[in-house]
Amino acid sequence: MNTIRVGVNGYGVIGKRVADAVLLQSDMDLVGVADIATDWRIKSAANRLPVFASTIEAQQAMRGADVPAQGVLDDLLAQCDVVVDTTPKDVAAGNLERYRALGVKAVLQGGESHSTTGHSFVAQANYASAIGRDSTRVVSCNTTSIVRILGALDAAGLLLRARGVLIRRATDPWESHLGGIMNTMVPEPTIPSHQGPDAQTVLPGLDVVTIAAKGAHTQTHSHYWTLQLTREATRDEVLDALRAAPRIAFIRMSDGLVALNSTVELMRDLGRPRGDMWEVAVWEDLVTVNGSEAYLAYQVYNEAIVVPETIDAIRALTGTVPDAATSIRLTDESLGMRQDFLTPAEEPDHDR
């Protein structure tokens, strides 16, 4: 298998996690990371990774701040097969033509619109259609979770339509001194909120409506769904459909995992890097089926969930791994992803 040379442009919440995940892949090399920041965020990276300045202005600023930049973005791109652009919303869209001109494949993130790349990615749903493309967009954290969960039920032939309420975190923890709401809830100004239609960019057949609001906390997102099934089903059938899909883990209230912060603390106790949870955590004991209606709730660790999808998107664009299942397995094993956090971890079966 060829080694894929990867660069990361934008070393923020998502970029730093993607860079660390790339380092764990035996079929990828991390060439370096680029940013315009000159403070602790990039200084801490420069101690362990090759750092590049994303702009000429940033190069000068890095010199002034004693950040040992190895060059500018074009110097990084010249050494890359794929760039993962994890800059803030709309910046990546402006970079795409530059990547194309240099023949570097690009993975963008959910802040960009679907039309920017014309392809939106969730590995379990549409890995194959990304193979050989010059770019794709890994959908946002909320949308990724929706596609994983509804896609699992759809694949099992169980889902007719889905209506969901999404409670979003106010801001990311690292920047909560700068903004974020307090002591209120803020509904998104339209119904449907954008996440349902966004999920349809990956799974066009989904009958899904989402309503979203921002909550006054920084502890991940949570979603609450009412699902119309295609037929009367048992609770076990719904659980089996979720178990059959990748990147979904069960948590239980009966284990004391009764709130968003409990799961966040569990991830820290498990020694996860940055306390990350890459899986969607479904409350198993809340899954309820009544005839042909099902109800469930799950937690989305917004800072981490798109990281495994991004790793798979890199493989899909380069075509080095032709099938989704193999790429998902490689990624999930490298990160140590789980279907249940409280049972002993299974040893990877390398013959599979």
Ligand X SMILES: NC(=O)c1ccc[n+]([C@@H]2O[C@H](COP(=O)([O-])OP(=O)(O)OC[C@H]3O[C@@H](n4cnc5c(N)ncnc54)[C@H](O)[C@@H]3O)[C@@H](O)[C@H]2O)c1
For position 15 contacting ligand X by CB under 6 A, the verdict is yes
Q: Are 40 and 20 in contact (CB under 8 A)?
A: no
Q: 132 in the Ramachandran plot: left (φ > 0), alpha (ψ -120 to 50) or beta?
A: left
By the rule CB under 6 A, 88 interacts with ligand X: yes
Distance of CA 37 to the CA centre of its chain: 23
Catalytic residue among 28, 46, 141, 147: 141
141 given a catalytic annotation: yes
Question: Per rule CB under 6 A, is residue 100 in the interface with ligand X?
Answer: no
Is 351 buried (19+), middle (13-18) or exposed (0-12) by CB count in 10 A? exposed
Binding segment (CB under 6 A) for ligand X, from list 86-94, 97-105, 150-158, 205-213: 86-94
The string of DSSP codes covering 208-234 is EEEEEEE-S--S-EEEEEEEEESS---
Structure tokens of 185? 């809830």
Question: Within 10 Å of residue 171's Cβ, how many Cβ atoms?
Answer: 16
Shortest approach of ligand X to residue 103 CB, angstroms? Answer: 20
Q: Report the C-alpha gap between 154 and 110 in whole angstroms.
A: 23
CB of 108 to ligand X, least distance (A): 7
- What's the Cα-to-Cα distance from 199 to each of 20, 60, 149, 302, rounded to whole Å? 27, 41, 11, 16
Residue with tokens 């050989």: 132
Residue closer to ligand X, measured from CB, 81 or 276: 276
Instruction: Tell me the window of 35-43, 156-164, 276-284, 317-325 that interacts with ligand X (CB under 6 A).
Output: 35-43
| Number of residues located near ligand X, criterion CB under 6 A | 28
* Only segment of 33-41, 146-154, 197-205, 228-236 that touches ligand X (CB under 6 A): 33-41
Q: Is 35 annotated as a binding residue?
A: yes
**Contact pattern for ligand X over residues 318 through 347, marking x by CB under 6 A:** ------------------------------
Among 4, 9, 214, 328, binds ligand X (CB under 6 A): 9
CB of 18 to ligand X, least distance (A): 9
At its nearest, how many Å lie between ligand X and the CB of residue 14? 4
Is 87 a residue that touches ligand X (CB under 6 A)? yes
Catalytic residue positions?
141
